[in-house]
Amino acid sequence: MTTQRTLILLKPDAVQRSLRGEILRRIEAKGYEITALAQRTATAEELAAHYAEHEGKPFYAPLVEYMGSAPLVAVVAEGEGVIEGFRSLAGSTNPTSAAPGTIRGDLGREWDLPVIQNLVHGSDSPESAAREIEIWFPGLA
């Protein structure tokens, strides 16, 4: 394994439900180092760049609207295999079927909401991580 960096977003539902501390605790308990952190409301430009590959899909507009509707927390985490490790820690996308012990399995709510409110986002590859970190923390990538 090699040391990696990943972007993690604590989505508006995580912030609104006051789950920041618990989610960050789990990231650090897993042995990952938080090297950058910012809470803010995302701009339209950040969201368009972040979700560019989904533009034109039916869920794109509601997702971008939801992600910009309230503050979120952007995090850069580092560690051995952090990309795969965080995605495992997050659990499957659907909170209803996410395994117990995962962020979504323990803290997530029902799937049948207008937009997927599943608490967190994690980069899916080193390439995505580099691109996403540059969007949320310009100059850090």
121 carries an active-site annotation: yes
Q: Which tens digit of pLDDT belongs to each residue from 22-45? A: 999 999 999 999 999 999 999 999
Q: Is residue 49 part of a domain?
A: yes
**Phi, psi angles (nearest 5°) of residue 30:** -75, -10
- Is 25 annotated in a binding site? The answer is no
- Is 2 annotated in a binding site? The answer is no
Q: Is residue 83 part of a domain?
A: yes
Q: Which of these is catalytic: 50, 67, 121, 132? A: 121
Q: Is residue 141 part of a domain?
A: no
Instruction: Give the CATH number, domain containing residue 72.
Output: 3.30.70.141
Q: Rg (Cα) of the chain, in Å, rounded?
A: 14
**Strand stretches in 1-141, DSSP E:** 3-10, 33-40, 72-80, 120-122
Distance between terminal CA atoms of the chain? 20
Q: Which tens digit of pLDDT belongs to each residue from 107-127? A: 998 766 666 789 999 999 999
- Is 86 annotated in a binding site? The answer is no
Dist CA 101 CA 52 (whole Å): 31
